[in-house]
Structure 1
Amino acid sequence: MNLLKTTFLLLLCTILSCTTQNETETRLKNIEQQLAGLRSRSLQENNIPRSINKEGEIRWIEKPYDWTEGFWPGTCWMMYERTKDEQWKEAAIAAQKMFEHHKDLTTDHDLGFIFNNSFGKAYRITGQAQYKQVLIDAANALITRFNENVGCIQSWDVVNNWQSERGWMFPVIIDNLMNLELLFEVAEITGDSTYKTIAITHANTTMRNHFRPDGSSYHVLDYNPETGEINSKVTAQGYANESAWSRGQAWALYGYTMCYRYTQDIKYRDFAEKIANFILNHPNYPADGVPYWDFNAPNIPNEQRDASSAAIIASALLELSNYTENRYLKNAEHIVNSLASDAYTAELGENGHFVLMHSVGSIPHGNEIDVPLNYADYYYIEALARQSEKRL
């Protein structure tokens, strides 16, 4: 009887797993159809899609430089890896040519976002040396922004811009954790530990200074570049200095999960869990798992949701579940299911051919509010791919 019961349960688990796998595959096929329209437009315009404007027309990246320019080719590489359709590869290559020369920029920290998510995927999938060299060049440019006194990579320059108007000297944003993946990757590619040492130092400094006791993160810390002292702890895109900007919490969760992947240092895994528990147990965390744009926004529940935060959180939790005996798997799948619903996934041909609706760029700046965003789609597709891998 026990043997029959065990066999039945194993069969039931297999059926349920296959059903989930089938659902994931169906979602990815639908995404392929939707994004094919965006691929055509991108090639026609010779530009990279970022969002849509108030008229519902595609908003292209802001040339000559845009921190989101790597997400579209990264998305195309993920679709190529899945489908082996050469059109996706061609679209990725065409997009990358538009910004490859940015690999040598030393005036911004977003080289990790831009190059690891595009050329990094190209190198992993194809193994071609040309992509490897671009990653190395970008990492070399990025580490010029590292300050030993502070122990961090500077996020934004503060010369003749809105950052300088705030009196900042050496701003470091929580988003910057995501750029460390480029350094970890290049350390493995080259065997040069310099990149990894800088990444670890930045991660440790951020862990020590950027977080509150409950596991929530400030958005911006401004440092004195000469002494390393903290000048202020503030926000740029959140509701208030002491609030928890949702995408910032998502970057933090993803960032320390990624740090554990490369270092196997348990303190990063434990810290990622602390951040996850803050998010998942927050009293303002919605039942569907798609956060409001800020956990402390004043008019909850009448505040904007941010599907981009949800997609990043889902992808991070799926990876974190690999290191925690699937502790966060149900939470991740719940978020994915919500994003896959009609409430957040656009009808075929609608939404400028982007997949997800209802993301938020920056409410304080009045920019990209309740629109699709290329990075929301990127992390949603990454989450689905990770979910598919876990079901195989």
Structure 2
Amino acid sequence: MVQLINDEFKFALDQYKFLAKNIPEGLTPQSFEKNKPVNYDIKWWCSGFYSGSLWYLYEQTKDEAVKKEAEKALKVIEPNQTYTGNHDLGFMMYCSFGNAYRLTGKEEYKTIIKRSAESLATRYRPNVKAIQSWNKNKYWDCPVIIDNMMNLEMMNWVSDNGGNPKYKEISVIHSNTTLKNHFRPDFSSYHVIDYNPETGNVKRKATWQGAADCSAWSRGQGWALYGYTMMYRFTKDEVYLKQAKGIAHFILNHPNLPADKIPYWDFDAQGIPYAKRDASAGAIIASALLELGQYTSGNEKNEFKSAAETMIYSLASPAYRAKLGENGGFLLMHSTGAYPLNSEIDVPLVYADYYYLEALLRFKKWYL
């Protein structure tokens, strides 16, 4: 594993230098489809993952050119600190500026993170006791998605590092509301809960990117696992630890989890075993399991570590990892964005790379 991690970071450094050449000024990289780079505006929810990945690369390699590119990528997304159009500020600004601050200690980065938390807090709905994910539209009144758990990390961190304590309070309230309404008895999660914004009552339990309202969308299970593990880190509330363990056991014991432990895009997808995989879900789950292993012991710790190890070996294999100079410069192949919307199917995705690099770093830091 030591050799694999070192090799993967060396490969990733070279590959991302190739990727950097495909990004037009002012945009952020997302994918590579039909032999063309796909880049998006900074308001896209994934805009922070590129710079975040670059900071992970810098942390491991100390390559000055990659640091320079990471700083340039931060400048591009800096205006997002005042954005209030969706719930994704944590993805956008903490994966990026959070890692930058952790590695450099620059106060200007911390200020931007604090401002971003303030922007995200504007989406908290007291009647619902949750942060509204998307704006009201023809499908939803007040939708809250399981992905939203990920954006609480920034809120917690700001409160714990000299910012307003209300952000952490909001995170805890949101987590408790999600715990109550998003989960089934088997610890699987719905994707979207639509609330009545006046009463806070649940109107509908549904999906947007999953196979069916009642299915377990794989990346959503990953967000849930990562989210409650992270909430335990910040609060030490045993309820969150119990939830994270329950989600982990649901994933790892599911009869539809393949032998290489990289999930199909939905645990209940039609056409298994021929359904598309989602490498991004595998990377997120691996990273989350490695952290969860830090809070468990004995057989359970070994189970989580061993499963994450299998996922990393799978993702590092030619079955999922691209060759140098191919795949548009992205590291991993075979992710699935939104299958029911016919969007980003069997392609590289920037966040798959981010959580893969994070999983490699976590394994090295905690288990080697």
Q: What is the TM-score when the length of structure 2 is the normalising length?
A: 0.97
Q: Judging changes above 3 Å, is the alpha-carbon distance between structure 1 residues 102 and 191 closer, same or farther for their aligned structure 2 residues?
A: closer
2-side partners of 1:150 and 1:32: how far apart? 44
Correspondent of 2:161 among 179, 189, 199: 189
Paired positions, count: 364
CA distance in 1, matches of 2:367, 2:9: 14
Report the CA distance between 1:64 and its aligned residue.
5.2
Alignment of structure 1 residues 65-80 onto 2, 5 Å: 65-80=43-58
Name 2:351's counterpart in structure 1: 375
Equivalent residues of 1:307, 1:356 under 8 A apart = yes
2:14 is equivalent to residue 53 of structure 1: no
Query: 2: distance between equivalents of 1:256 and 1:351?
Result: 33
Q: How does 1:275-314 map to 2 (within 5 A)?
A: 275-314=247-286
Amino acid at match of 1:360: T
Measured in 2, the distance between the counterparts of 1:27 and 1:73 equals 18
Alignment equivalent of 2:130, drawn from 148, 152, 156: 152
* SS of residue matched to 1:108: coil
8 Å Cα contact 2:159/2:166 also seen in 1: yes
State the superposition RMSD in angstroms: 1.2
Task: Please give the per-residue CA displacement for 1:102-125, whole angstroms capped at 9, x wherever unaligned.
Answer: 111122110011000001111111
Shift of 1:46: 5.1
Higher Cα radius of gyration: 1
User: In the alignment, which residue of structure 1 is the partner of 2:235?
Assistant: 263
Say if 1:64 and 1:80 are closer, same or farther in 2 by CA, change over 3 A: closer
Contact 1:219–1:245, Cα closer than 8 Å, also in 2 = yes
Give the letter aligned to residue 198 of structure 2.
Answer: E
Kept after mapping to 1: 8 A contact 2:217/2:267: yes
> CA offsets per residue over residues 164-195 of structure 1, 9 Å max, x none?
222x2110000000000010110012153211
Q: Which of residues 121, 130, 133 in structure 1 aligns to 2:99?
A: 121
Q: C-alpha displacement at 1:294, in angstroms? A: 0.4
- Which residue is 1:12 aligned to? none
Q: Equivalents in 2 of 1:264, 1:191: separation in Å?
A: 20
The reply on whether 1:351 has 2:327 as its aligned counterpart is yes
1:64 and 1:213 map into 2 onto residues whose CA distance is 38
Alignment partner of 1:38 is 2:19: yes
Q: Percent identity?
A: 51
Show structure 1 runs of 5+ residues with no match: 1-19, 159-163
In the other structure, the counterpart of 1:109 is 87
Q: Whole-Å Cα distance in 1 between the matches of residues 250 and 89 of structure 2?
A: 29
1:131 aligns with 2:109: yes
Aligned-partner SS, 2:161: helix
The answer as to whether partners of 2:114 and 2:163 remain within 8 angstroms in 1 is no
- Aligned residue for 1:201? 173
Secondary structure (helix, strand or coil) at the match of 1:252 reads helix
Aligned to 1:8: none
TM-score by length of 1: 0.91
Q: Which range moves more in the overlay, 24-33 or 106-115?
A: 24-33
Equivalent position SS for 1:118: helix
Q: CA deviation at 1:24?
A: 1.7
Please say if residues 25 and 388 of structure 1, whose CA atoms lie closer than 8 Å, have aligned partners that are also in contact: no
Task: Output one character per residue of 1:60-103: Cα deviation in whole Å (capped at 9) or x when no partner.
Answer: 11x25210000000001111111111211111111121221111
